[in-house]
């Protein structure tokens, strides 16, 4: 059912995204060549692919209460995807990522195609992301939904932005601490704020809420999202170290280069002997490919990958258990079960 659901709604979301961006592109052309380029980079990134998980989950939440999405609901779905891409542009600056979906990131395109220094490229990308956030607010303000629902939606968006910001600050700060001082609970909190809530709980429960779901259903869907979201991120961390770059669109070992305090790293360090810890300490935050390969070997040798695999599977089992017994319509219960499994078995 997962593939059928995605094949039905992804083209619909893409069509509406393209239409909205074409309309806004005409405005950008009035403000000079740099803004025309900025818009083009942004537009091409948005339309270059992506799973559209968040708007699809929003629609699924709405369908779960036996209602069919109308134009207003699809307006909100588009805003959710724009919101996601706004955060991606900023995230790529924070992480200094050079590729996204197999293409140069927005900041990297500024650097390569305009020949500017990295600081200028970062600044232009941040401003471009801010423009995209303005599109989110505009799309929500004009969404064809009841005024009371519009206020509710804006509240949910801003609250999610707030929580995502807290998660991002933790994610940025923790690499400044020695590995042994980072507690696993903080890593879990980052995953909850940046992935569980923002990626799954927020869109899924918002859709259900707009369709009139009761409090018990909303709570169950919210908790499902936290468990599935953390599992999603743990699997993402595994792909970042062991995945195929041709499928993930990112080089192997990126999290190690960036010094991110992932559960993989914390577990490996905890289980490592003195020599293995030295290898990890030297590799984390380094661009030395030899050191990164050695660190990956340590992660394997210490059983860290197996541990994280086990944790993510347990979380998915818990997520599926949370929605059992709910009266979800349109086969959304089966959709959510399949989605939870997909999140920890995907290759990109």
Say whether pLDDT at 250 is over 80. no
Q: What is the mean pLDDT of residues 100-110?
A: 93
CB of 39 closer than 8 Å to CB of 24: yes
Q: In degrees rounded to 5, what are phi and psi of residue 99?
A: -130, 150
- pLDDT of 258 reads 85
Q: What is the mean pLDDT of residues 105-123?
A: 98
Say whether pLDDT at 102 is over 90. no
Torsion over CA: 309, 312, 316, 321 (sign):
positive
Say whether pLDDT at 251 is over 80. no
Kindly report the average pLDDT of the chain as a whole number.
Answer: 95
Say whether pLDDT at 111 is over 80. yes
Whole-number Å distance between alpha carbons of 304 and 118:
35
Say whether pLDDT at 87 is over 90. yes
Alpha helices (H) along the chain: 2-28, 33-47, 53-63, 71-95, 106-114, 118-141, 147-173, 184-191, 202-210, 215-242, 245-248, 254-258, 263-271, 274-283, 289-301, 304-323, 332-343
Q: In degrees rounded to 5, what are phi and psi of residue 146?
A: -60, 145
Digit-coded pLDDT (tens) for 291-305: 999 999 999 999 999
Q: 247 CB contacts (<8 Å, ≥6 apart)?
A: 347, 348
Digit-coded pLDDT (tens) for 176-235: 999 999 999 999 999 999 999 999 999 999 999 999 999 999 999 999 999 999 999 999
- pLDDT of 244 reads 79
Nearest to 329 by CA among 180, 208, 232, 240: 208
Whole-number Å distance between alpha carbons of 234 and 344:
8
Select from 1.10.600.10, 2.60.40.2480, 2.60.40.3080, 2.40.50.140 the CATH code of 147-348. 1.10.600.10
- pLDDT of 304 reads 97
Say whether pLDDT at 60 is over 80. yes
Structure tokens at 208: 């259900």
Q: What is the mean pLDDT of residues 95-110?
A: 92
Residue ranges, CATH 1.10.600.10, the chain:
1-145, 147-348
Percent of the chain with pLDDT over 90: 88
Nearest to 203 by CA among 304, 54, 92, 336: 54
Say whether pLDDT at 249 is over 70. no
- pLDDT of 205 reads 98
CB of 319 closer than 8 Å to CB of 338: no
Say whether pLDDT at 38 is over 70. yes
Topology, domain 1-145: Farnesyl Diphosphate Synthase (1.10.600)
- pLDDT of 253 reads 87
Say whether pLDDT at 252 is over 90. no
pTM score, whole prediction: 0.93
């Amino acid at each position: 059912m997962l593939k059928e659901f995605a094949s039905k709604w992804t083209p619909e979301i893409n069509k509406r995204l393209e239409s909205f961006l074409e309309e806004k592109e005409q405005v950008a052309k009035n403000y000079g060549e740099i803004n025309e380029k900025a818009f083009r980079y942004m537009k091409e990134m948005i339309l270059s692919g992506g799973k559209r998980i968040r708007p699809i989950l929003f629609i699924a939440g709405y369908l779960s209460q036996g209602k069919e999405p109308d134009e207003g609901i699809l307006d909100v779905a588009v805003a959710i995807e724009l919101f996601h891409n706004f955060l991606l542009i900023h995230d790529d600056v924070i992480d200094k990522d050079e590729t996204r979906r197999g293409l140069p990131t927005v900041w990297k395109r500024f650097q390569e195609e305009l020949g500017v220094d990295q600081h200028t490229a970062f600044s232009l990308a941040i401003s471009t992301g801010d423009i995209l956030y303005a599109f989110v607010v505009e799309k929500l303000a004009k969404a064809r939904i009841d005024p009371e629902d519009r206020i509710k939606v804006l509240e949910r968006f801003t609250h999610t932005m707030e929580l995502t910001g807290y998660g991002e600050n933790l994610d940025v700060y923790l690499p400044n601490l020695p590995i042994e001082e980072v507690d696993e609970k903080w890593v879990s909190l980052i995953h909850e704020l940046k992935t569980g809530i923002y990626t799954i709980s927020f869109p899924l429960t918002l859709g259900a809420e707009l369709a009139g779901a009761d409090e018990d259903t909303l709570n169950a869907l919210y908790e499902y999202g936290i468990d599935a979201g953390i599992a999603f991120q743990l699997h993402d961390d595994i792909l970042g170290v062991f995945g195929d770059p041709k499928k993930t669109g990112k080089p192997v070992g990126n999290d190690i280069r960036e010094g991110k305090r992932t559960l993989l790293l914390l577990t490996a360090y905890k289980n490592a002997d003195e020599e293995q810890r030295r290898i990890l300490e030297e590799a984390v935050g380094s661009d030395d490919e030899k050191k990164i390969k050695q660190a990956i070997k340590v992660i394997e040798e210490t059983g860290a990958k197996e541990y994280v695999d086990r944790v993510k599977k347990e979380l998915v089992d818990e997520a599926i258990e949370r929605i059992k017994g709910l009266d979800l319509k349109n086969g959304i219960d089966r959709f959510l079960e399949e989605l939870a499994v997909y999140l920890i078995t995907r290759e990109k």
